[in-house]
Structure formats: structure tokens, C-alpha cells
Amino acid sequence: MPNETQPLVYVVVLNWNSAEETLKCVASLQRSDYGNFRIIVIDNGSRDGSVEILSRAKGIELVCNAENLGFSGGCNVGIKAGLVGGAQYIWLVNSDTSVAPDCLTKLVHFAESRPNMGLASPLIRYASHPDRIQFCGSMLDRESHDMDPVDLAQARRIQSEQPELMLLWGTALLVHRRLVELIGYLDEGLFAYFEDMDYSMRSIAAGFRNVMVFDAEILHDNPIDQGIRKPHYYYYMTRNKIVMRKRYIRSFTERWRTLWWDFNRLRGELLTRNKPQEVVEATLDGLWDGLIGTRGSFDNRRRMPLLARRFLMPGRRYHNIIS
């Protein structure tokens, strides 16, 4: 029976064409020692039979989106369900994670002891190398405006001395209800990637604190060596980083100086590294869409103008559509 003396937590797991992976994550959540939580799985427009598989699972609420709403849009469906259901906290958990039984208990206990907490994350370890830390916090660098992950010693120092600089990943993000009620939902225009950094920034701007709970842990199946990913990854990472620059760097001069630095670094990487053609083109399209303010999902029919591509990448051939 649920322990109703504990705050109600809605655990939101987003599924996209990965039902078996999602069920493994759900199984780890169901071993949690926390006494008052519900699991809601959001299927994000899967086309691989995931809905049929997940509909047979016990102990979850299944919500099916008609189309892929991206990480932001899919998670927002779960967040809204949590608010309607009376949750005090919503825990966004990636489907490729395995959660320690005491993780949620430690997260909520830590959050309850800090009245100004908006977001909290456990320590994230590599599933393939549990002795190695994948994420323990990111720091907002006020000089370079980067949002780079830090090591454990740095993370502890930042949390203690400069908590207003702590940014968190969305891999296992505990969100307080009052934060959502004040600042709203994840930015669906970003669609995927950097939506967690954006939410962390908005949390800080609203006067909340983002915290790492260092004794709570999950395992994440993201391999150490990512290799080459699908084109949409490079598109979103490029576009959304530019969006973040434009959104949070207040000085016009500093904003465009930083964007110019990003542009030259990106151009250098594309010229010197032997990346597949579809990756190059997706990156260029992300650069263009970031500059002109295009939001939403990746559409490989929408291209950077040919003259701009030829200027950036002389001597390469370009396709009209990425296959």
C-alpha cells in the first residue's frame, strides 16, 4: 500500500521505439523502496509495436502520443499528468537507465530538506563501467557561457559555494511541483537536447536551486565512446546551442562574439574531421536554423541555402535531401 505520509511522486518514462529497454527501466523503478509513487510511461509515437508490448505491462499507466513530440513535448505530457494527479514531485527518468532501489527515497529526502529546491539529480554512472561517473553536474561558465560537465570535486564545491551556477541533465531529473507552476514546462521548441540546460537556467532565474544528490545513483546505458550518431543528433546539438547563446547572453556584442567563436570552431571541425556527408549537412542545417530561429523537429528537407554551404564547406558536394 502507498505510504501517503510521503510526498506523491509521478515517475515519467518516455518511450520511443524501445519497449524492451523501457520495461527494464520500469522493473528497476518497481524495486524502489520509496513508498508513494506512480509510474507513467509516455509512448512518443512509436511505430515498432511498443504500444502493444507496453499495454501488457503491470504497474504502469500508459499514455500514447499520436506522434513523436520530442523529449520536451513527451515529458511535458507526463509532467501535466503528474500535476493533475496531485504529485508533489515529477521524476523524469530516461528509458535507458537502471535505478538503484534507494535512489528516489534519497532524492525526495534531500529535496524536502531544502525549501528552495527546484530541480535535483542523482549521480549518473556508466552502466558499462559503474565505477566511472558519467554526470555529477554542469557549471555555467559566466565568461565563456559554456555549460560543461564538471568532476565530482568541482561539483561539490559549486554546490556548496556557488549553487547559482549548477545546471543538471534531464536523464533522471526530479522536478518540484512549485517550479512547474511558476516557470511552466520544458521548451518544446527545442524538441531534444539542451532542454534540460534551459530548464535549469530558468529555475535559477526564478530563484530556485538545482542540486546534485551525490549519494543517490543511477546507471545509464549511454556508452563511453559514442561514435557517429544519427544526423538528427548533430542537428539538434548545433541548433539548440545557438538558441541558448541567443537566449541567455544579454550583451549583444558578447552574444555575437561567442556565436562567431562557435561558428569558426564548428567550421574547423567539419573541415578537418572525416565525418559522413549526412552528418556534415545536418550540422550545417542546425547552424542555419539556429541563426534564423527555426524551432521544432528536424526536417531534412529544410536546408541551409546552397551558397552558404559552399562558403562554409568549399569543395564538398551536397545532396538536396538527407537519406
- What is the pLDDT confidence band of residue 265, given thresholds at 50, 70 and 90? confident
The mean per-residue pLDDT over the stretch 159-166 comes to 94
Q: What is the pLDDT of residue 147?
A: 79
Cα separations (Å) of 264 from 106, 250, 270, 272, 312? 44, 21, 10, 12, 9
Q: Give yes or no for residue 1 having a pLDDT over 60.
A: no
The 10 Å Cβ neighbour count of residue 100 is 20
- Are 159 and 137 contacting, i.e. CB atoms less than 8 angstroms apart? yes
Q: What is the pLDDT of residue 224?
A: 47
Mean pLDDT of the chain: 90
As a whole number of angstroms, the distance between CA 206 and CA 72 comes to 20
Radius of gyration of the chain (CA): 20
- Of the ranges 60-64, 245-249, 309-313, the best mean pLDDT one: 60-64
Q: Give yes or no for residue 52 having a pLDDT over 50.
A: yes
- What is the pLDDT confidence band of residue 226, given thresholds at 50, 70 and 90? low
Q: What is the pLDDT of residue 277?
A: 83
As a whole number of angstroms, the distance between CA 176 and CA 117 comes to 7
As a whole number of angstroms, the distance between CA 82 and CA 287 comes to 35
- What is the pLDDT confidence band of residue 321, given thresholds at 50, 70 and 90? very low
The better pLDDT of the pair 310, 101 is held by 101
Listed in sequence order, the DSSP H helices in the chain are 19-30, 50-54, 70-84, 103-112, 152-161, 177-183, 195-205, 231-248, 252-272, 277-292, 306-312
What is Dmax (Cα atoms) for the chain?
67
Q: What is the pLDDT of residue 161?
A: 95
The mean per-residue pLDDT over the stretch 294-299 comes to 93
- Predicted TM-score (pTM) of the model is 0.92
Lowest mean pLDDT among 81-85, 220-224, 254-258, 283-287: 220-224
The mean per-residue pLDDT over the stretch 236-253 comes to 90
Name the residue among 74, 124, 106, 93 with its Cα closest to residue 28.
93
Q: What is the pLDDT of residues 65-77, one digit of tens each?
A: 999 999 999 999 9
Q: What is the pLDDT of residue 322?
A: 39
The mean per-residue pLDDT over the stretch 214-240 comes to 84
Q: What is the pLDDT of residue 279?
A: 85
The 10 Å Cβ neighbour count of residue 226 is 8
- Are 222 and 169 contacting, i.e. CB atoms less than 8 angstroms apart? no
Q: Give yes or no for residue 323 having a pLDDT over 50.
A: no
Q: What is the pLDDT of residues 14-29, one digit of tens each?
A: 999 999 999 999 999 9
The mean per-residue pLDDT over the stretch 266-291 comes to 82
- Are 74 and 95 contacting, i.e. CB atoms less than 8 angstroms apart? no
Q: Give yes or no for residue 281 having a pLDDT over 60.
A: yes
| The three grid cell numbers given for residue 288, joined into one nine-digit string | 542555419
- What is the pLDDT confidence band of residue 62, given thresholds at 50, 70 and 90? very high
